[in-house]
């Protein structure tokens, strides 16, 4: 890396990312990689919500490998609302014909195996708030790219932001201030994080926003329902 330039993945890692099935454009992927590289220097695991078929996971895994930490990726592998049959982002090739439901786990495993990055990733298969509720460790990076309803995006934030170490990075995908560009749940979570006083904006590239945890999170409201799905 030259002074002043962002860290970038090796050409073979970038090629594996670009050939993987998924939803992250290359420009945003490079911004995610730079954030992951910076966060990995804290020596703590990097966590992703929204594995899908492993496209963005490749970048977290490579940043983790370089720093000697582990990438964690959470998904129930049954797909988000917009990926179900009949919706815009449905891919019939990731439906398990025996079960009749989406199952992106086999595709994810093939992707990571082909990229040679399997041993740097721990896949957590389950619903994000449920996994967060039993997670005990601190994290260097939390990347939110899961369900895009308000309930899911808020559940991801509430579940995982408390585990992020001070100095760690919160990265949110699909932040669209203009509703004409896309759904606004991730945007509202980004606003919520900034309004909490616990985060400071670091960078923005297309719809990918990077915030640094710089302070304490407000205590949860005592009567707030706990999210487990």
Ligand X SMILES: C[S@@+](CC[C@H](N)C(=O)[O-])C[C@H]1O[C@@H](n2cnc3c(N)ncnc32)[C@H](O)[C@@H]1O
Q: Pick one of 13, 14, 16, 24: the residue that binds ligand X (CB under 6 A).
A: 24
Q: Among candidates 184, 183, 206, 124, which has minimal Cα distance to 159?
A: 124
* Cβ-based neighbour number of residue 163 at 10 Å: 17
Angle (CA) 170-24-207 rounded to 5° is: 55
Cα 116 from Cα 167, distance rounded (Å): 30
Pick 38 or 156: Cβ nearer ligand X: 156
Nearer Cβ to ligand X (140/147): 147
CA–CA gap between residue 19 and residue 26 (Å, rounded): 11
When binding is defined by CB under 6 A, the residue of 6, 7, 18, 23 that contacts ligand X is 23
∠ Cα 104 64 167 (to 5°): 110
In the annotation, is 163 catalytic? no
The token duo for 168 is: 């760690």
Q: Does 28 bind ligand X (CB under 6 A)?
A: no
Residue with tokens 């992250």: 24
User: Shortest approach of ligand X to residue 78 CB, angstroms?
Assistant: 6
- Binding segment toward ligand X, per CB under 6 A, in 4-12, 22-30, 38-46, 195-203: 22-30
Does 127 engage in binding with ligand X (CB under 6 A)?
A: yes
Q: Which two tokens stand for residue 42?
A: 């804290």
Residues 66-105: x where in contact with ligand X by CB under 6 A, - otherwise, as a string = --------xxxxxxx-----------------------x-
> Which position among 145, 159, 175, 209 is part of the footprint of ligand X (CB under 6 A)?
145
Instruction: State the nearest-atom distance from the C-beta of 2 to ligand X, in Å.
Output: 27
Residues forming the active site: 148
């Amino acid at each position: 890396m030259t002074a002043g330039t962002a860290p970038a993945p090796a050409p073979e890692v970038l090629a594996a990312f670009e050939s993987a099935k998924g939803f992250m454009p290359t420009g945003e992927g490079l911004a995610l990689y730079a954030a992951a590289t910076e966060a990995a220097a804290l020596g703590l695991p990097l966590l992703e919500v929204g594995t899908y078929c492993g496209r963005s996971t490749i970048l977290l895994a490579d940043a983790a490998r370089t720093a000697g930490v582990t990438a964690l990726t959470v998904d129930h592998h049954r797909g988000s609302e917009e990926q179900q049959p009949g919706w815009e982002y449905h891919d019939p090739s990731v439906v398990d014909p025996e079960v009749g439901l989406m199952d992106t786990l086999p595709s994810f495993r093939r992707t990571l195996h082909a990229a040679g990055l399997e041993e740097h990733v721990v896949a957590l298969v389950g619903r994000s708030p449920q996994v967060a509720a039993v997670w005990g460790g601190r994290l260097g990076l939390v990347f939110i790219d899961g369900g895009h309803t308000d309930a899911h995006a808020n559940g991801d934030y509430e579940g995982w932001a408390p585990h992020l170490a001070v100095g760690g990075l919160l990265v949110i995908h699909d932040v669209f201030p203009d509703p004409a560009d896309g759904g606004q749940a991730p945007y509202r979570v980004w606003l919520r994080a900034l309004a909490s006083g616990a985060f400071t904006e670091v960078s923005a590239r297309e719809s990918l926003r990077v915030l640094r945890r710089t302070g304490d999170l407000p205590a949860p409201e005592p009567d707030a329902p706990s999210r487990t799905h």
